Amino acid sequence: MPKFRNYKERGEWVEALFIAEALRRGYIILKPWGDSQPFDVALNFGNRVVRVQVKSTNCRVGTGYRCQISTNYNARRYAPDMLDFFAAYVIPQRTWYLIPAQILFNGGQNPTGPMLFPMQPFKNDCYYCEVYKEAWGLLRPQPEKKKPRSR
């Protein structure tokens, strides 16, 4: 892992990694100007934009990694209507988690910091974020369900 002077530099590096991986997978990237938006990157799907906040962790706790999902002390807090996904990168394992924002908000205003277990085998009903490991397909808009015609 490269050495960084501060967390801002590390954040910029991880955003660049996310953008490179998303481009490699065929996504069209929008990057907001400056730091005034609550998301780092957006994916353009024509009539829909998916807003992504990019985070990273190297904080090992037991058999997993804790990912802090919070803004810095000077910024406003995240709210459920501000973004669509958190992209969490586990630096030592080189693993991405693409987690829908509503999963981490748990109905409240302050998102929780998930534990990520990239080295553990997947088990149903355990490690709730593991279903989002490398889940790049979730970023694509889901087709709208057609309403049944009334007669």
How confident is the model over 66-98, as pLDDT tens digits? 998 877 655 667 888 899 999 999 999 999 999
- Asked whether residue 147 is assigned to any structural domain, the reply reads no
pLDDT tens across 102-120, in order? 888 876 656 668 889 888 7
- How many domains, the chain? 1
- Asked whether residue 103 is assigned to any structural domain, the reply reads yes
CATH of the domain at 28: 3.40.1350.10
Cα 147–Cα 148–Cα 149 angle in degrees, nearest 5 = 115
Tell me the residue range of the domain where 49 lies. Answer: 7-138
- Asked whether residue 2 is assigned to any structural domain, the reply reads no
Question: What distance in Å separates the CA atoms of residue 49 and residue 35, rounded to the nearest whole number?
Answer: 18
Q: Count of CB atoms within 10 A of residue 87's CB?
A: 25
- Asked whether residue 148 is assigned to any structural domain, the reply reads no
- Asked whether residue 32 is assigned to any structural domain, the reply reads yes
- Asked whether residue 31 is assigned to any structural domain, the reply reads yes
DSSP H or E segment with residue 49: strand 49-57
As separate numbers, helices (DSSP H) first and strands (DSSP E) second, the chain gives 2, 8
- Asked whether residue 16 is assigned to any structural domain, the reply reads yes
Q: Count of CB atoms within 10 A of residue 6's CB?
A: 7
For residues 36-52, average pLDDT:
93
- Asked whether residue 144 is assigned to any structural domain, the reply reads no
